[in-house]
Amino acid sequence: MERIVFLDRDTLKANVRRPSFTHEWIEHDKTESAEVAERLKGATIAITNKVRLREADLKQLPSLRFIAVAATGVDIIDLEYCKRQGISVSNVRNYAGHTVPEHALMLMLALRRNLLSYRSDVQAGAWERTHTFCLFHHPIHDLHGSTLGIVGYGVLGKAVGRLALALGMRVLVAEHKGARKIRDGRVQFEEVLRASDIVTLHSPLNDETRNMIGAAEFEMMKRDAILINTARGGLVDERALVEALERGKIGGAGFDVLTKEPPREGNPLLEINQPNFILTPHNAWASREAMQTLADQLIDNIEAFIRGEPKNLVK
Alpha-carbon distance 224 to 150, whole Å? 17
Mean of the pLDDT values across residues 149-178?
98
Q: How confident is the model at residue 315 (pLDDT cuts 50, 70, 90)?
A: low
pLDDT tens string 231-246: 999 999 999 999 999 9
- pLDDT, the chain, mean: 97
The ranges assigned to domains in the chain are: 2-95+289-307, 99-279
Share of residues in the chain with pLDDT > 70 (%) = 100
pLDDT at 34: 97
DSSP string, 152-215: --SHHHHHHHHHHHHTT-EEEEBPPTT-SSPPTT-B-HHHHHHH-SEEEE-PPPSTTTTT-BSH
Average pLDDT of span 123-134: 95
Mean pLDDT of 68-77: 93
- Give the contacts of 57 (CB within 8 A, at least 6 positions apart): 36, 37, 40
Whether pLDDT at 216 is above 70: yes
Residue 51 has pLDDT above 70, yes or no: yes
Nearest-angstrom CA–CA distance, 118 and 109: 13
Of the candidate CATH numbers 3.40.50.720, 3.40.50.2000, 1.10.10.10, 1.10.220.10, the domain formed by 99-279 belongs to: 3.40.50.720
The answer to whether 2-95+289-307 and 99-279 have equal CATH topology is yes
Fold category of 2-95+289-307 in CATH: Rossmann fold (3.40.50)
Is 107 in a helix, a strand, or coil? helix
In terms of Cβ atoms closer than 10 Å to its own Cβ (0-12, 13-18, 19+), residue 124 is exposed
Residue 180 reports pLDDT greater than 90: yes
Segment 241-300, tens digit of pLDDT: 999 999 999 999 999 999 999 999 999 999 999 999 999 999 999 999 999 999 999 999
Query: In the prediction, which pLDDT does 52 show?
Result: 97
Cite the active site residues.
232, 261, 282
Residue 277's pLDDT is what? 98
Check residue 198 and give its pLDDT: 99
> According to the model, what pLDDT value does residue 73 have?
86
Residue 278 confidence (pLDDT): 98
Instruction: Report the pLDDT value the prediction gives residue 169, as an integer from 0 to 100.
Output: 98
> pTM of this prediction?
0.91
Residue 79, CA distances (Å) to 86, 123, 142, 211, 246 in order: 10, 51, 44, 22, 39
